[in-house]
Amino acid sequence: MEKQNLNNFISIVNYIGKVDNGVAVDLSLKVKDELFNIIYWFDKNENYKMSIDEKFLKKYNINNIYEYKNYKKLAYYIHNFIITDKEQLFEDFNL
């Protein structure tokens, strides 16, 4: 059985819905004992956008999530392991 790291995890808080021909999702990111809010948007063409709350930006001394050294890994993980029902979401939100 794989051991789960409970110090760091991402979970879905809410499906925001259809935004600009894609779907926006509200996520919670836990890093050690701190929680951060992420908004993740994606469309059928594999485009995505992310934003994260100000306390994360301040903690890592960056201006936006795209300056974070691991943002591509974070996006990949969210897109492939957290949001697993993309086609159903597109259908649910009439996309």
Domain boundary assignment for the chain? 8-89
Give the tokens for residue 25: 């999702």
- pLDDT at residue 63, as a whole number: 97
- pLDDT at residue 39, as a whole number: 98
pTM of the model: 0.88
pLDDT bin (cut points 50, 70, 90) of residue 1 is very low
To the nearest whole percent, how much of the chain has pLDDT over 70? Answer: 93
Helix, strand, coil abundance in the chain, percent, nearest 5: 30, 40, 30
Instruction: Give per-residue pLDDT as tens, 21-42.
Output: 999 999 999 988 899 999 999 9
- Sorted by sequence, the CB contacts under 8 Å of residue 94 that are 6+ apart come out as 18
- Sorted by sequence, the CB contacts under 8 Å of residue 43 that are 6+ apart come out as 20, 21, 22, 23, 95
